[in-house]
Amino acid sequence: MPPVRSAFVAGNWKMNGALAANAALLEKLRAGLPQRKTAEIAVFPPFPYLDQVARLLSGSMLFLGAQDVSERAAGAYTGEVAASMLADFGCRYVLVGHSERRALHGETNALVARKFGAAQSAGMTPILCLGETREERQAGSTLEVVFQQLDAALSLHGVAAFANAVLAYEPIWAIGTGLTATPETAQGVHQALRQRVAKDDLAVAADLRILYGGSVKAANAAALFAQPDIDGALVGGAALDADEFLAICRAA
Ligand code: 13P
């Protein structure tokens, strides 16, 4: 049987939002979503708004996710948020290893791999973010970089853990820059990532959803989603605009 990977659109709000703005955005999203479930859709607000957003999403087809998680379960870790807490608030997904966390907070591949495990231990699905810098791409080391990022989690948890995980390929040079990878460029990396997982387990690889992120908008979403190994998008800026985000969801 060919794999059935349901399309997935994830809206990463990053450090944006306010009570009133969140309510207005979610009201528009709920009103504009297709009645028939076509793609899986999730939003990732900042931690303080998880409770508000969980309530505003209840009864809708939208899922809730968090932007980060602590590798630790509980204790004297000021400022950290445990996976069990995110699960308490109804999070189904957690981003781990977003490039902004790697770059601004020094998150290593090893730490990201432990966060991946923390999310799963609390019953959530980690979305493991991978991607190369402009310099790494120019040096021809894109695959080497994303494989190292992937391998850290693969070797720590084993390929079976990827039956409950999502990958997000986000080339750093495409994030917030308006420069999207061409569908063919992104497809090449997605296919290579899937093949890497397939070396360990064909079935897990066939079912693994791999999202593309980096300046995804209504205007370029359909061409990206037409690629065989692009299963959806991790959307930043355009996730804050209801019309843009809904159009991306429709394209998926
Ligand atoms: P932009 O869509 O704003 O480029 O951000 C992508 C991203 O980092 C999503 O996690």
Q: Which residue has the tokens 């791409």?
A: 137
Query: What's the angle, vertex CA 183, arms to CA 178 and CA 187, rounded to 5?
Result: 125
SS3 93: strand
Helix (H) or strand (E) holding 251: helix 242-251
* pLDDT (mean) for 140-168: 98
Residue 128 sits at φ, ψ, to 5 deg, of: -85, 115
Alpha-carbon distance 26 to 9, whole Å? 15
Answer whether 234 contacts ligand 1 (Cβ < 6 A): yes
β-bridge partners, 44: 12
What confidence category does residue 14 fall into, taking pLDDT thresholds of 50, 70 and 90? Answer: very high
Mean pLDDT of 90-101: 98
pLDDT given for residue 180 in this prediction: 84
What would the pLDDT profile of 175-193 be if each residue is shown by its tens digit?
Answer: 988 888 899 999 999 999 9
Domains of the chain (ranges, CATH numbers) = 8-251 (3.20.20.70)
Label residue 67 by pLDDT band (50, 70, 90).
very high
Query: What's the mean pLDDT in 129-158?
Result: 97
Mean pLDDT of 110-124: 98
213 touches ligand 1 (CB under 6 Å): yes
Helices (H) and strands (E) in the chain, counts: 11, 8
Average pLDDT, the chain: 96
At which residue do the structure tokens 């999403």 appear? 57
The pLDDT score that the predictor gives to residue 124 is 98
175: left (phi over 0), alpha (psi -120 to 50) or beta: beta
**Closest atom of ligand 1 to CA, residue 178:** 4
The residue type found at 194 is R
What is the C-alpha separation between 137 and 185, in angstroms, rounded?
A: 11
Whole-number Å distance, alpha carbon 216 to ligand 1 midpoint, is 7
Which atom of ligand 1 lies at the shortest distance from residue 215's CA?
A: 4
Q: What is the pLDDT of residues 48-61, one digit of tens each?
A: 999 999 999 999 99
DSSP labels for 125-173?
Answer: EEEEEE---HHHHHTT-HHHHHHHHHHHHHHHH-GGGGGG-EEEE--GG
